[in-house]
Amino acid sequence: MSYKIVHYINQFFAGIGGEEKADVAPESRPGVVGPGMAFKAAFGQNAEIVGTVICGDGYFAENMEEATAQILKMISVFGADAVIAGPAFNAGRYGTACGTVAEAVQRELGIPAVTGMYAENPGVDMYRKSVYIVSTEDSARGIKTAVPAMAKLTLDILKNGTAGSPEEGGYIERGLRVNCFNDKIGAQRAVDMLIKKLKGEPFKTEYPMPDFDRVAPAQPITDMKNATIAVVTSGGIVPKGNPDRIEASSATKYGTYSIAGVQSAEEVAYATAHGGYDPTYANHDPNRVLPIDELREMERAGEFKKLYDYFFTTVGNGTPVAAAKKFGTEIGARLKKDGVDAVILTST
């Protein structure tokens, strides 16, 4: 039998345009669009792409809930057996959109969804647990291998009801622990492993410990009355108009803004650029995320000496750990250079 598939892509792959068109709202078209042609070839007689749903990455990031609902509605009209999203390669916002759509499709429509991304796409960390994500190259050059892999995985799931192991299915490990029978009993495996470990030979643990990136806590401030305090947020508070265009998700940059003389975050009409939480309360009173009002009061009361003249801000939503580390290192160096003693980090 031939399965019915719906394809989800962004404005760029639909040929609508690049960043300048990223704000286009969801639309639905019958049949294949863009990379859908390649999928059509890969599916052959086994499946047919009955429709394509397109959404601008920017639109999606800024209206996630609403966009997801609109997209789901458009997908459901086609009565499909499965959905494929992307591949998104290394595009952060596109990856997040593909993951969000795929997860929502599975949850709300009860049909399988498959997407494809580069291993370092932030969408991978966000959705690997709930969505099958085929591992792709980092750019659209990888489409030749990504498409057949995604098509095969989709058909496997439809036919067998299971994707098999990550190796069999070509998808990125979901981090799920699955039971299996080994050739040897546990005690023998343990002694084998210990002998290898003692000999300095490579061995493979059966349960990799969760990776904690622990940072040793800094020494407490001893002389708070003479301390200079800074405030840094990943809650996306930016001056009105978001002058540096910090992205609503998968941020690639942070902003540095002066608060010299500012008594309250409200004064400068700050708002949040963050796309990952309900902004109502932050926008109504940005002090809730960037507590300048309280800090000024404490400064006046002499609880500490000075509030540092600048604040740093970015959006934590879907921002890759590597990018966050880079921001943190740069911000830290600047604070140190300017003689800041302590920093308050706020999130959402």
Question: Which residues of this protein are in contact with other proteins, per CB under 8 A?
Answer: 129, 165-166, 173-191, 193-195, 197-199, 203, 205-210, 212
Kindly report each contact of residues 15-21 with a partner whose C-beta sits within 8 Å and lies 24 or more positions away, as own/partner: 16/54, 16/56, 19/58, 21/56
- As a whole number of angstroms, the distance between CA 226 and CA 339 comes to 12
Cis check for the bond before 87: say yes or no (omega within 30 of 0).
yes
Say if strands 82-85 and 27-30 run parallel, antiparallel, or are unpaired: unpaired
Contact 64, 33 (CB under 8 A): no
- As a whole number of angstroms, the distance between CA 333 and CA 339 comes to 10
Closest to other proteins by CB, 77 vs 194, is 194
Helix (H, G, I), strand (E, B) or coil at 3: strand
Closest to other proteins by CB, 219 vs 280, is 219
Closest to other proteins by CB, 180 vs 322, is 180
Closest to other proteins by CB, 31 vs 175, is 175
CB of 207 to other proteins, least distance (A): 4
CA distances from 195 to 41, 186, 203, 205, 220 (A): 51, 14, 9, 13, 45
CB of 224 to other proteins, least distance (A): 15
Q: Encoding tokens for residue 259?
A: 């608060």
Q: Which among 314, 315, 305 is positioned nearest to 339, based on CA atoms?
A: 305
Closest to other proteins by CB, 213 vs 240, is 213
CB of 121 to other proteins, least distance (A): 20
Closest to other proteins by CB, 1 vs 185, is 185
Side-chain-facing half-sphere of 120: CA atoms under 13 Å = 8
Closest to other proteins by CB, 182 vs 280, is 182
Helix (H, G, I), strand (E, B) or coil at 235: strand
CB of 131 to other proteins, least distance (A): 12
Helix (H, G, I), strand (E, B) or coil at 344: strand
CB of 170 to other proteins, least distance (A): 13
Q: Encoding tokens for residue 272?
A: 């949040």
Closest to other proteins by CB, 208 vs 241, is 208
CB of 134 to other proteins, least distance (A): 14
CB of 102 to other proteins, least distance (A): 16
CB of 303 to other proteins, least distance (A): 18
CA distances from 239 to 100, 104, 253, 338 (A): 29, 33, 15, 22
Length of the chain: 348
